[in-house]
Every structure is written in C-alpha cells, then in structure tokens.
Amino acid sequence: MKGRTFTRHVKEGFKNIGRNGWMSFASISAVTVMLLVVGVFLLLIANINYMMTEVEEDVEIRVYMDLTADEEDQVELGDNIASVDHVESITYLHRDDGLDEFIDSVGEENAELFESLRDENPLNDVYIVEAEEPHLTETVAADIAQFSHIDDLDYGESVVEQLFAFTNVMRIAGAVLVLGLMFTAMFLISNTIKLTIINRRDEIQIMKLVGATNGFIRWPFFMEGLMLGVIGSIIPIAAIITGYTYLYETVREGTMLSFINLMPIQSIVYEVSIVLFIIGAIVGVWGSLNSVRKFLKV
C-alpha cells in the first residue's frame, strides 16, 4: 500500500469516528468499562498469585523424632532424609531451641507459664525439611514418612492443598470473566459500528462499483476500530496506574495492613497496561471488521 493511501485510510477512520460522534462515544465507553474490569481483575489475580507463591515458599516439613531415639538414630534419620530426592535443605532443631521458639511466639505474658517446662521439656527434637519446589512438598513428605524413628510428620497438608485449589479456582474464574467481558465488548463495538454502517452502505456499494477491493474498503474500518479500542484503553490504563500506585503506597505505609504483601508497582502495572492496550486494540479491530463483513458481499 502506498503511503498516501495509508494516510487516506487513517484520515477516513478519524473522520468516521467524528461523524458518528455518539456511537463512537458508546463504543469507547464499552471498551473503557470492559478494560477497567479486566484490569482490576488482572491485578487481583496477579497479586493473589504473588502472595500464594510467597506462602507456598514458606511451606516446610517438620519431622518430629521419637522421644526414644538416641543420637545415633537421629543422625541416621538425618542422613536418610538427605538422600530423598528433591530435598532442598534440612535443619536440626533441638527440643530446647524448639521451646525457646515456642516461648517467643506466645508473648511475654504467658512466657513464665511455659518457662516451668524447661526441666521437663515435652517437645520432640525436629528436623525441618524444605523441598526444592513448594508443590513437591507432598511427595517428599511421603518419602520421609517411611523412615523409622519418626514420631510424627507435619507439613500443613490441608493448608497447602487448599492454597493450590484456591489459586486454581481464582485463575480459572478470572480467565472466564475476562474472556466473557472481552466478547461482550467486541459485540457491543460490532453492533455500534453496524448501526453507523447502515448510513455508509451506499458508500461501500459505490466503492465496490468503481472497483475498490475489499481490502481497500476494510482499511478505514480497521483504523476506526483500532482507534476506538486504543482510545477506550486510555482511561483504564491511567486508572490502573494511579489506583494501584496509591493502593501500594497506602498498604506499605499502613501498619495495620503490614501482612499484605502487594506486588511491586513496576513489575505489574506496566505489564497490565500493555495487556489492556492490546486487548483494547484487538477488541476494536475485531468488532469493526466484523460489522463490515456482511456489506462486502455485494
């Protein structure tokens, strides 16, 4: 295509947006609303994923040793555990240290109560084992459970399983919602442009009569759709960037919410923005070309 023809198509696309002012406004609004929801959802999913990964990484296996096991047995068990596949690290925690840890965690008021246990420490000696990958925890734990001198073994299996289940549900629900919204917006654009196209049917018919190729006729519509989509993505992108920055700052500064660990701004906001921009462009172009299709069959 020649440069001048390209310019013509771009100009025509812009003119058409202007000429069908309210319809264009409706299309852009549809894209804006859709992208806002999609954007918020993407951020939500990304953050849930992020937090999940953090939690998952904290998952550890606690191997409580038999109280009767002597030092030799403990060393043997330690070696056995080290030989299991996918074991990342093993830490030995003596029962006295375990008690210290426990007393620390209960706070000063109750500390005294448990100090009395010093002489008759009821706790087990513990190996703390970490798997190479969070999702390997269960397999590693099953392997370790076969060894002797183990009193009990705990890796929060229900917590791990629930976390994985929850993340999966969130991911699927998010994907379904995002796809559904995208299609809704596409059909909205397609129908809005279809309404304006009725007025342009004569123009298309004349173009065909004087020998315009379908490609030539389609280009202005392509441009128009592209611009509707791109314009529609401006507000959501701006809102996502400012909104998320504000949220991030608030959460980081607020002591109340310190347990929430949001994804850093740079990594996510710009990625989401690019995704929104691309979705907007695709939705616009698809909607527009879809509406012109049937008029090209003259």
* Footprint on this chain of other proteins (rule: CB under 8 A): 1-2, 4-5, 8, 202-203, 205-214, 216, 298
- Contact assessment for residue 296 and residue 218, using Cβ atoms and an 8 Å cutoff: yes
Cβ of residue 270: shortest distance to other proteins, in angstroms? 39
- 242-260 exposure pattern, b = at least 16 Cβ within 10 A, e = fewer: ebbeeebeeeeeeeeeeee
Cβ of residue 216: shortest distance to other proteins, in angstroms? 5
Cβ of residue 287: shortest distance to other proteins, in angstroms? 24
* Closer Cβ to other proteins, 82 or 298, answer by number: 298
* CA neighbours closer than 13 Å in the CB half-sphere of residue 157: 7
Cβ of residue 298: shortest distance to other proteins, in angstroms? 7
* Closer Cβ to other proteins, 275 or 296, answer by number: 296
* Closer Cβ to other proteins, 210 or 256, answer by number: 210
Angle in degrees, CA 5, 9, 14, rounded to 5: 145
DSSP per residue, 63-81? EEEPTT--HHHHHHHHHHH
Integer Cα distance of 269 and 236 in angstroms: 11
Residue with tokens 């001198």: 149
* Closer Cβ to other proteins, 41 or 219, answer by number: 219
* Closer Cβ to other proteins, 14 or 187, answer by number: 14
Cβ of residue 219: shortest distance to other proteins, in angstroms? 11
- 115-130 exposure pattern, b = at least 16 Cβ within 10 A, e = fewer: eeeeeeeebbbbbebb
